[in-house]
């Protein structure tokens, strides 16, 4: 998968040869305040520090509309006043492509992200909430690759068959430092085959096979990793989008066998069964308001190694456009990271509110508010809680 960046670049350049229909993009600048950029709290603030920071950022987005898709680049510089080790630059290259013919369709959604951040890490402490650690982990030097692709064959009188591929790959490039958190490379790759009576309207039955890889921590006591292979059986239902309404749901059992160098003392049985599901929907409330929601549960590998975790998340967002130039939105998210075989169950929840004001055809002002909290969900343990408050003002000039 390390070669995926090169493959994606070659694929993108071949599409650049096509005649472009439209260039578009914009410049964005933001200033904000974060009351707790390292998400430290009880159990971790003594080690990581209890800081607040004024943040500054500038970004550019450029997109090329292709005959059947879109190629985009986004670059961003983020500065934390008083915390230079948290500063980072982000470069993202993305390609979305769709093809369609008589009785078939196919598509690809791929991206490569390079985070040009610090290679040094913060001190290791058991009081860090997993969802708080993710905040400063994403600022460290790394590469991220994402790929989703599908191909669908449809016969109106019989039904349809759909093949899918999804890859999520993290290539962490931080230094290994004794006494500090060391991130481990991790990857999830899955292929699937689904069949149903009608596309976007009715029941779906399918199977998926996947493989996850986790590197080891090159420090004493870090020689375990929980790479695995898994199989899913899915039963789903998709509603045909109509008048802005849509809904999809899929769920089923998951059978997993850990193939890595697991610790036999804490995991004598390499086989594990669990439930996975994913659901999403949109609901228009009026001509100027709407509601979106999604939920998902799956299993992934820890970025700090020596364990895996079940990831459960819920998202909901409401938007309202009281005036053609004003858009208001309110969102909420809750997420659980339930680790195994390690005894750790971390939660976090966030509420966001935003306003978008279109001053001119090409000038947009934004205001974003954030309240973010994390806590420990395991009885009998303490620490790993944090609170954050943030406010950000921004301006975007499109071209």
Average pLDDT over the chain, rounded to whole? 91
E strand or H helix at 134: helix 130-137
Band the pLDDT of 174: cuts 50, 70, 90.
confident
Residue % of the chain over a pLDDT of 90: 73
Partners of 395 in beta bridges: 29, 365
Q: What was the pLDDT predicted at 173?
A: 84
Give the list of residues 6+ apart from residue 198 with CB closer than 8 angstroms, or none. 159, 160
Distance CA 50, CA 46 (A): 7
pLDDT in tens, 369-389: 999 999 998 887 777 899 999
Identify whether the C-beta of residue 285 lies closer than 8 Å to the C-beta of residue 258. no
Q: What was the pLDDT predicted at 45?
A: 85
Q: What was the pLDDT predicted at 110?
A: 98
pLDDT in tens, 79-98: 999 999 999 999 999 999 99
Domain positions in the chain? 4-398
Distance CA 346, CA 338 (A): 6
C-alpha R_g of the chain: 22
Q: What DSSP designation does 180 have?
A: B
Q: What was the pLDDT predicted at 200?
A: 67
pLDDT in tens, 293-332: 999 999 999 998 889 999 999 999 999 999 999 999 999 9
Decide which of 373 and 179 is more confident.
373
Q: Is the pLDDT of residue 34 over 70?
A: yes
Reported in sequence order, the residue ranges of 81-137 that DSSP labels E, i.e. its strands, are 88-101, 104-117
pLDDT in tens, 214-226: 999 877 778 899 9
Q: What was the pLDDT predicted at 178?
A: 81
Q: What was the pLDDT predicted at 43?
A: 77
Question: ω into residue 241 within 30 of 0, thus cis?
Answer: no
Predicted TM-score (pTM) of this structure: 0.89
Q: Considering the domain 4-398, what is its CATH architecture? A: Beta Barrel (2.40)
Q: What DSSP designation does 6 have?
A: H
Distance CA 12, CA 57 (A): 27
Q: Is the pLDDT of residue 16 over 70?
A: no
Q: Is the pLDDT of residue 122 over 50?
A: yes
Q: What was the pLDDT predicted at 14?
A: 47
Partners of 280 in beta bridges: 248, 294
CA-to-CA dists, residue 169 to 84, 176, 225, 307, 362, angstroms: 27, 20, 16, 17, 36
């Amino acid at each position: 998968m390390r070669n995926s960046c090169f493959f994606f670049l070659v694929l993108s350049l071949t599409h650049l040869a096509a005649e472009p229909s439209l260039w578009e993009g914009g410049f964005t600048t933001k200033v904000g305040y974060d009351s707790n950029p390292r998400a430290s709290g009880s159990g971790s603030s003594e080690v990581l520090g209890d800081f607040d920071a004024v943040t500054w950022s500038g970004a550019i987005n450029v997109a090329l509309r292709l005959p059947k898709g879109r190629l985009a680049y986004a670059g961003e510089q983020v500065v934390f006043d008083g915390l230079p080790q948290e500063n980072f630059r982000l470069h993202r290259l993305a390609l979305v492509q769709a093809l369609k013919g008589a009785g078939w369709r196919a598509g690809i959604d791929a991206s490569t992200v390079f985070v040009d951040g610090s290679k040094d890490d913060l001190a290791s402490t058991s009081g860090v909430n997993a969802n708080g650690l993710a905040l400063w982990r994403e600022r460290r030097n790394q590469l991220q690759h994402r790929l989703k692709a599908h191909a669908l064959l449809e016969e109106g009188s019989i039904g349809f068959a759909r093949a899918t591929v999804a890859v999520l790959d993290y290539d962490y490039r931080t230094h290994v430092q004794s006494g500090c958190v060391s991130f481990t490379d991790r990857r999830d790759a899955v292929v699937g085959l689904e069949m149903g009576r009608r596309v976007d309207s009715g029941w779906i039955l399918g199977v998926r096979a996947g493989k996850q890889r986790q590197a080891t921590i090159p420090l004493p006591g870090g020689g375990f990793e929980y790479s695995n292979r898994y199989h899913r059986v899915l039963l789903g239902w998709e509603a045909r989008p109509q008048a802005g309404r849509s809904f999809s749901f899929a769920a089923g059992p998951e059978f997993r066998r850990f193939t890595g160098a697991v610790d036999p003392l804490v995991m004598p049985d390499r086989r594990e069964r669990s439930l996975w599901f994913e659901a999403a929907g949109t609901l228009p409330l009026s001509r100027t308001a709407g509601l979106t929601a999604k939920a998902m549960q799956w299993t992934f590998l820890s970025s700090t190694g020596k364990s895996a975790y079940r990831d459960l998340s819920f998202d909901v967002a409401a938007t309202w456009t009281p005036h053609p130039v004003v858009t208001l939105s309110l969102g909420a998210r809750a997420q659980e990271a339930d680790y195994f075989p390690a005894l750790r169950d971390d939660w976090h929840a966030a509420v966001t509110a935003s306003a978008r004001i279109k001053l001119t055809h090409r000038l947009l002002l934004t205001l974003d508010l954030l309240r973010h909290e994390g806590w420990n969900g395991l009885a009998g343990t303490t620490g790993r809680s944090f609170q954050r408050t943030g406010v950000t003002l921004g301006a975007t000039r499109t071209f």
